[in-house]
Amino acid sequence: MQLRILGCSGGIGGTLQTTSMLLDHDILIDAGTGVTALTLSELEQIEHVFLTHSHLDHVAALPLIVDTVGPVRKRPLTVHCLPEVKKSLQDHIFNWKIWPDFGQIPSKEEPLLLWHSIEVGETVDMDGRKLTAIPANHVVPAIGYWFNSGSASLVFTGDTTSNDALWKVVNKIPNLRYLIIETAFPNTERELAIQSKHLCPSLLAAELSKLKVPVQVFITHLKPGAGTQTMAEIEEDASDFHPRMLANGQVFRF
């Protein structure tokens, strides 16, 4: 399996793009503004989109993807997400007011967009590539993902804060190689991190102390303008885990 980072920032500006990752050539993980890094040909090859939650920085490009390549594809695009996420997107985006409902276009029988509901703990097997929804703790219903190729695994937490349930899963993965975990705010905004159910460096250090398996740790979702400060604080608070900043264009093979 190969995971290519398209966007990993908590905002936009310059080269910064919000969360989106391409698994191999046909599976999109979240659909933030990072999707704009893909060519038209690459967009046409996407068969599945796995969403962590409904917030705009993770779904902004989804309506545009369907509109752009849906009519030239031979099959509908399948979106996998929690039932609550599906309802939010149908109620507030694919509602004929913000955007057409592509689950009804050109007809209910042959739509350009299909929905597949998943729950925490459920594994979707994509030709031997196993994607498992794992617990997240956020202000809206949310999940992370465990990607397992068989030989190695990568965990992406999605947006989350302190979350004991996550580590119960992570610590049982025998072939874990990479952990991508968010840290949105610097320690100076710890209260905002708590209120919005994100992590800051001190909270990240407390979470990583629950990690019992060896893994390479990468930090995502840094807020624009605070990235340098946040990473410096992470290096101080969580130095034992040697976290590195995730970058656009980075590729993980596992």
| Residue 165 contacts residue 172 (beta carbons within 8 Å) | no
CATH classification for the domain delimited by 121-246, as one of 3.30.565.10, 3.20.20.70, 3.60.15.10, 3.40.50.300: 3.60.15.10
Q: How many CB atoms lie within 10 A of CB 200?
A: 25
Low-confidence ranges of the chain (pLDDT < 50): none
**Predicted pLDDT at 249:** 97
C-alpha span between 146 and 36 (Å, rounded): 24
**Predicted pLDDT at 42:** 98
Class of the CATH domain delimited by 1-81+83-117: alpha beta
* Three-state secondary-structure class, residue 20: strand
CATH 3.60.15.10 domain locations along the chain: 1-81+83-117, 121-246
| Residue 229 contacts residue 236 (beta carbons within 8 Å) | no
Beta bridge partners of 78: 48, 114
Cα radius of gyration (the chain): 18
pTM over 0.85: yes
